Amino acid sequence: MGPARQASRRPRARTARRGGARPDPRLRLGRRRRSRGGRRPHLRTAGGRPDRREDERLGTHEPERLGRRARRRRRPRRQRAGGARPDRDVAVDCHGRFTLATARRLAPLLEPLHPFFIEEPVVPENSHMIERMVDATTIPIAAGERLYSRQEFLPVFQAGIAIAQPDLSHAGGISETRRIAALAETFDALIAPHCPLGPLALASCLQLGFATPNHLIQEQSIGIHYNKGAEVLDYVLDTAPLRFVDGCFELLTGPGLGIEIDEKAVRDAASRWETWQNPVWRHADGSMAEW
């Protein structure tokens, strides 16, 4: 999609259906851990890491204690962020680490905190159960980073999820994800593309978002803790198109995806590449844990 077509479609920065949408030639950004300016969501992982001592005492089978801990964390985080301001949101990522029963018990405990959404309350293999999760809470339910086609998204839309999170790198690229977004629109759902990846994936997500009326927010990983030796912006010649302005990305107006890749940096990184595998996590009793 060329720059002329992009500019003709005025994207909107959305506020989770709260107060509607306002015209704005920018996209809101979502970050894990930190963000800069604007309406800034934070994504917290419920249950934490099983390899930490705190979570050996506090497993994902203990929703009441998780709920109490979430309330304690929510208060200091808002204080550190400058007080209980309405321009900040906190989302909760369960990452499929809960059973349906436990997730249903946890959600009402989080409702007084008004989280932005709850993500992946159950593993994608159990998507047929997600309607019961939707019916158990007023918090919007998000899912989809591990769903890869319209056919896989259709049942969760029918179940009532509020936010779809397709990953363009895995779900058929721009074309298929645009179709997923159009399908979401027929179920009054928004999209928040999953993208903890590199600049090509991020620029693709942004181009999709600028042309999609039901786009909510864009996840990205610039500056995140796991980018050791491989920061997202290390692979572009000009970082300006991916700069943050009041917590938003501005319209990409350059040719193609709107960024220029530093091919030398990519080749250098490829020469040092080591095969990466998901970490293997275990609960305190030695049983396998969802990563």
Write out the catalytic residue numbers: 95, 194
Question: Of the candidates 15, 61, 19, 21, which has an alpha carbon nearest to the alpha carbon of residue 41?
Answer: 15
Question: Would you tell me how many other CB atoms lie within 10 Å of the CB of residue 220?
Answer: 26
Distances from the Cα of 206 to the Cαs of 83, 152, 252, 254, in angstroms?
30, 23, 8, 13
Question: Of the candidates 40, 118, 134, which has an alpha carbon nearest to the alpha carbon of residue 80?
Answer: 40
**Cα–Cα dist 142/134, whole Å:** 10
Q: Which is it for strands 218-220 and 26-31: parallel, antiparallel or unpaired? A: parallel
Question: Of the candidates 210, 217, 160, which has an alpha carbon nearest to the alpha carbon of residue 189?
Answer: 160
SS3 215: strand
Long-range contact set of residues 49-56: C-beta below 8 Å, sequence gap at least 24 = 49/281, 50/281, 50/282, 50/283, 50/284, 50/289, 51/281, 51/282, 56/283, 56/284
**Cα–Cα dist 284/60, whole Å:** 12
SS3 10: coil
**Cα–Cα dist 235/260, whole Å:** 9
Question: Would you tell me how many other CB atoms lie within 10 Å of the CB of residue 156?
Answer: 24
